[in-house]
Chains A and B, each alone.
Chain A
């Protein structure tokens, strides 16, 4: 059974940093691209960043480019999102997602989500 478990969320002041983790199990982690998707309270879904299975290729939404860094540790089946210079508009539930097989992107399975609140 595929399981994705996010951690590391919480309350942070504007300009602060936070690192999210997503621990995966139930599939061969290195084989699949992974994506972070966020959802502001009461709003729709926005893809934030994606990383290839090897970790050699990454992409970012314009809204987070230069502030967020996605990475993965395939030896520990863990995905990360380092979030720097956080803004109020980054407040959201953050989900990690496992890619579909083949070239079909996000997301076959999702974690339960973790809330990040940026506020003073």
Chain B
């Protein structure tokens, strides 16, 4: 199975901050990388697919980049509704594997 390693596991930030979360795959996954946001008690919500494509309806302050093994999710101008846990996930080969999550908390 492909291992996905996210960092950091948690961070504290203020509204308006720029936040960056990184994700590393254990092998080349080209651009088969998705990012999700999950709030407590809710299903994950797709934010970014194929590394850098913004899902319909997702605000443009969310952006993704990277290819191969190293990927980044950036939130430019953190808003109150963005405090949540974020997961990366590879869809290169089944089983689709997820990073361990990054919890974004209010400073």
Chief secondary structure at chain B's binding surface: loop
B55 at the interface (CB under 8 A from A): yes
- Given A100-B91, A104-B91, verify A47-B44 contact (CB < 8 Å): no
Are B101 and A59 interface neighbours, CB within 8 A? no
Chain B proximity of A2: nearest CB distance (Å)? 11
Q: What chain B residues lie within 8 Å of A110 (beta carbons)?
A: 43-45
Give the contacting residue for B101; candidates A37, A44, A106, A109; CB below 8 A: A44
Q: Given A44-B98, A47-B95, A61-B95 in contact, is the A104-B43 Cβ separation under 8 Å?
A: no
Q: Which of A45, A46, A106 contacts B91 (CB 8 A)?
A: A106
B100: CB under 8 A from chain A?
yes
Chain A residues, CB < 8 A from B98: 44-47
A105 at the interface (CB under 8 A from B): yes
In the assembled complex, how far is the CB of residue B13 from the closest CB belonging to chain A, in whole angstroms? 21
Q: Which of A35, A44, A111 contacts B43 (CB 8 A)?
A: A111
With known contacts A35-B96, A95-B43, A112-B43, A105–B87 Cβ distance under 8 A? no
Question: Measured between alpha carbons, how far is A45 from B97 in the docked complex, in Å?
Answer: 8
Are A45 and B89 CB-contacts (below 8 A) given A105-B96, A112-B43? Answer: yes
A26-59 CB mask vs B (1 if < 8 Å, else 0) is: 0000000001010000001111001000000001
Residues of B bordering A, CB below 8 Å? 1, 32, 34, 42-46, 49-50, 55, 87, 89, 91-92, 94-101
Q: Can you list 5 A-B pairs, Cβ within 8 angstroms, ordered by A?
A: A37-B96, A46-B95, A100-B46, A100-B49, A107-B34
A residues apposed to B, CB below 8 Å:
35, 37, 44-47, 50, 59, 61-62, 95, 100, 104-113
